[in-house]
Each structure stands twice: as structure tokens, then as C-alpha cells.
């Protein structure tokens, strides 16, 4: 494929709002997980909650979209100069030539939970003020962002569990290559809710302490929340220097189990090899792999096996979910930003909370971030049902802090 330029990027997660906060947190090996203090979720676990969501106000004319998930999206719009970059792209190409592809796994399901808890005790009717289409509906996120930014091109929602906001990059490349759009705004948001917290507990996949991806004593995941947006364009038409380049992507489906990966990571291997094929790169061209690495015993082991088969055991890898929590449908865009920070500022992110590397994981995982030049990074996002996506990102020429200040 012809590489695409990432010319604007924003980041919201438990480490903070904005790319400088993300880069600082990663380089300082900060862990942003906290003992569960979310709403009325009475679960012994740790979470990656974003500070300040409760105080966010949507523009008055869009108040009907108000919910936690759309508030996270609003934070991403305001962060890192993204709103100005989107407006400039719309002026450059026209509103109908800018596509919008966003990923989410639960959208505003929390509003549905609240409505159900407050239903009429006699009729079971939901409260009249519950706005399903603007909040709970999976397309509510894309609808909100389209109206908020004035995008009139194709608007798509991707909901493939935890691969959602990685697969949006593949859709963007296909829309641009097909001539249906000149640029695309991609990304996603996923917010904390009771369904995921209690659902993952029922699957016995939650750790009571902070998640420890790749650790010999790992016991499960820590759920987080987050959001992010990226502007993707053809390099020759972009109005600014790229922060990074999308070199290739790979997609696959395990077709193995509804909630467990293929035991040897076959789908993960196919996804990574397809990304390399599409980018016309050899495994030796990749300097760093950001693992999906949730902290569950089976996930980490099977992914590491796949990485070793593709790249060999010496490839430098890490999972950053021990710092941010697993942001589910937002994991792809959150960890794309992680990779862009490493590419732009010359460091390989560490693997938070790692104490003793599982001896079954035969790749080079390090606990602490370390200075290192990275030319190409690969980011993995894998979801329930065996939905896999791998992105290959190359270094750009632009400054990710150009609009957001210095870290």
C-alpha cells in the first residue's frame, strides 16, 4: 500500500489528557491504575479511570448527546490542537471529502444502565429523558463527532471489541484508496461501565490488583477508559508535516472461540505477517512491538508465541496496559499514540508492573522505558471473537507537541 500520513493526533487516557502527559507518563514508568472507585461498581479490582470526565460540558447545541463516552470524545477533540487540525482539513478538502471512522465496544451503554436502574416500578418503562440514539446506540459516538466537527463525508462505526479503534485505520486507507475520501478522521472512545466490569469479572478475567502483562504472576486485566483521534491523509496533499506514517496494516480472524485467542496465536501471526506484506517490509525492519498484552495468562502467552515466530525472540516488546488499563475499544487509538510518542521522541515504552517475566514469553520485554531510536513500530490490537489487527507505523517529520506544548 501507499503509506499515509498521520498529521494530527490526540490522546486521552488514565495517564492524562494530551500527548505530553502520555509521553511523560510513559518515560517516567508511571502507573495510572487505581483501586476501583467507579460509580456503584462493587468489585475488588483496579481501573484506569480518566480524571475530569465528570466536569466536561458538551456544546449547548449538542447537549442531547451528553454521556460519559461522548465526553471522552469531546476531551479528545479539544486535546493536542486536534479541533483546529480537523477544521483545516475540512477547509482544504471540503466537508464531504473527509471521512469519519470511529471504534467503540460499548459506546454509551452506561446511559442505558442508568435508565434501566430508574425504570418505572409499575410499568418498567424507561425514563422519558433517556436518549438511546444519541448516547447508548453504537453509532452515537460517530454521530456526535461528525456534528461536532462538521464532517459530511462517509461516517462509519467499527465495533469489533478490543480491535475496534485499530481497524479504523484499515477502513480509512481503503476509503482513500478507492477515491471515496481525500482524508479521514479516525479513532475511538470507550468508557467505564458496569457491563464490562461485571462481565469481565464473570469471565474471571479481572485482576484484583493492577494488571501485570507478561509477568509470571499475572492474573488478569485492569479495565480502563480512553479516547483519541487521528487525521490520516495522503502525504503529498497534507497541509503539515506528518507526526508518523501508516506503513501497513493486517487483519485476521481466529474463528476459534468467542472469548479466548487461538492457543498458539495463529490469528495474531497472520495479522502481523499481513501488515508486513502490505508494507513490503521484512521482520527485521521493525524496532518495537506494542503488544496487545492484556495481562490474562492465555492472551499474553499466545501473542508472545506469535511474535516470536514472526520476529524472533530478540524483538523488543512491551504492553502498556499495566499503566493505562485495558481501554477495550479505544485500545487501538490509545496505543497508536503510545507508538507515535516512541517514534517521535526516541524511546521504547516499558512494561508497567512487570516483576518477573514469564519464562514462557520468549521475547525481549523490559519493565522500564529506555531511550532508543525507533524507525518502525508495530502495534497489535486483538478482540473477543478472534478479531485481530496489526498496524505498522513509521517515524514522521512533524512535532507531536507542536500544538500541545512541550513535555
Let me know if residue 312 belongs to a domain.
Answer: yes
Let me know if residue 407 belongs to a domain.
Answer: no
Residue 402 pLDDT greater than 90, yes or no: no
Residue 404 pLDDT greater than 50, yes or no: no
Is the whole-model pTM more than 0.85?
yes
Let me know if residue 405 belongs to a domain.
Answer: no
Let me know if residue 240 belongs to a domain.
Answer: yes
Q: What is the tens place of the pLDDT at every residue in 107-138?
A: 999 999 999 999 999 999 999 999 999 999 99
Active-site residue set: 162, 292, 326
What range does the domain containing 191 cover? 4-395
Q: How many domains does the chain have?
A: 1
Residue 406 pLDDT greater than 90, yes or no: no
Residue 261 pLDDT greater than 80, yes or no: no
Separation of first and last alpha carbons in the chain: 33
Q: How confident is the model at residue 332 (pLDDT cuts 50, 70, 90)?
A: very high
Q: What is the tens place of the pLDDT at every residue in 170-218?
A: 999 999 999 999 999 999 999 999 999 999 999 999 999 999 999 999 9
- Residue labelled with grid coordinates 460540558: 57
- Per-residue model confidence (pLDDT) at position 264: 75
Let me know if residue 128 belongs to a domain.
Answer: yes
Let me know if residue 406 belongs to a domain.
Answer: no
Let me know if residue 403 belongs to a domain.
Answer: no
Let me know if residue 404 belongs to a domain.
Answer: no
Q: What is the tens place of the pLDDT at every residue in 221-242?
A: 999 999 999 999 999 988 889 9
CATH code at position 287: 3.40.47.10
Q: What is the tens place of the pLDDT at every residue in 149-164?
A: 999 999 999 999 999 9
Amino acid at each position: 500500500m501507499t503509506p499515509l500520513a498521520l498529521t494530527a493526533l490526540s490522546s486521552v487516557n488514565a495517564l492524562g489528557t494530551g500527548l505530553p502527559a502520555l509521553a511523560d507518563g510513559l518515560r517516567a514508568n508511571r502507573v495510572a491504575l487505581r483501586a476501583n472507585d467507579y460509580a456503584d461498581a462493587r468489585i475488588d479490582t483496579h481501573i484506569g479511570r480518566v480524571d475530569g470526565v465528570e466536569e466536561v460540558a458538551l456544546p449547548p447545541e449538542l447537549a442531547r448527546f451528553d454521556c460519559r463516552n461522548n465526553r471522552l470524545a469531546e476531551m479528545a477533540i479539544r486535546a493536542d490542537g486536534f479541533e483546529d487540525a480537523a477544521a483545516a482539513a475540512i477547509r482544504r478538502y471540503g466537508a464531504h471529502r473527509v471521512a469519519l471512522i470511529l471504534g467503540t465496544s460499548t459506546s454509551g451503554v452506561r446511559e442505558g444502565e442508568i435508565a434501566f436502574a430508574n425504570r418505572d416500578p409499575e410499568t418498567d418503562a424507561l425514563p422519558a429523558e433517556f436518549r438511546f440514539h444519541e448516547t447508548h446506540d453504537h453509532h452515537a459516538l460517530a454521530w456526535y463527532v461528525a456534528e461536532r466537527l462538521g464532517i459530511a463525508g462517509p461516517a462509519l462505526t467499527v465495533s469489533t471489541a478490543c480491535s475496534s479503534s485499530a481497524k479504523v485505520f484499515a477502513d480509512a486507507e481503503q476509503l482513500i484508496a478507492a477515491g471515496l475520501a481525500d482524508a479521514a478522521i479516525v479513532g475511538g472512545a470507550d468508557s467505564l461501565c458496569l457491563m464490562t466490569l461485571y462481565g469481565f469479572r464473570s469471565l474471571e478475567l479481572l485482576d484484583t490488583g493492577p494488571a501485570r502483562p507478561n509477568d509470571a504472576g499475572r492474573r488478569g486485566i485492569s479495565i480502563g477508559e480512553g479516547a483519541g483521534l487521528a487525521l490520516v491523509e495522503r502525504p503529498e496533499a497534507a497541509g503539515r508535516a506528518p507526526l508518523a506514517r501508516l506503513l501497513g496494516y493486517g487483519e485476521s480472524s481466529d474463528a476459534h472461540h468467542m472469548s479466548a485467542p487461538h492457543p498458539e496465536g495463529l490469528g495474531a501471526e497472520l495479522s502481523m505477517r499481513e501488515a508486513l506484506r502490505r508494507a513490503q517490509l521484512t521482520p527485521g525492519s521493525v524496532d518495537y512491538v506494542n503488544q496487545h498484552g492484556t495481562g490474562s495468562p492465555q492472551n499474553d502467552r499466545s501473542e508472545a508465541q506469535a511474535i516470536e515466530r514472526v520476529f524472533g525472540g530478540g524483538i523488543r516488546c512491551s504492553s502498556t496496559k499495566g499503566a493505562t488499563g485495558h481501554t477495550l475499544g479505544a485500545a487501538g487509538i490509545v496505543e497508536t499514540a503510545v507508538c507515535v510518542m516512541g517514534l517521535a521522541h526516541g524511546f521504547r515504552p516499558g512494561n508497567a508492573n512487570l516483576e518477573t517475566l514469564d519464562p514462557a514469553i520468549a521475547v525481549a520485554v523490559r519493565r522500564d522505558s529506555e531511550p532508543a531510536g525507533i524507525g518502525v513500530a508495530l502495534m497489535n490490537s486483538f478482540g473477543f471473537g478472534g478479531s485481530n489487527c496489526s498496524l505498522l507505523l513509521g517515524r514522521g517529520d512533524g512535532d507531536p507537541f507542536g500544538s500541545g506544548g512541550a513535555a
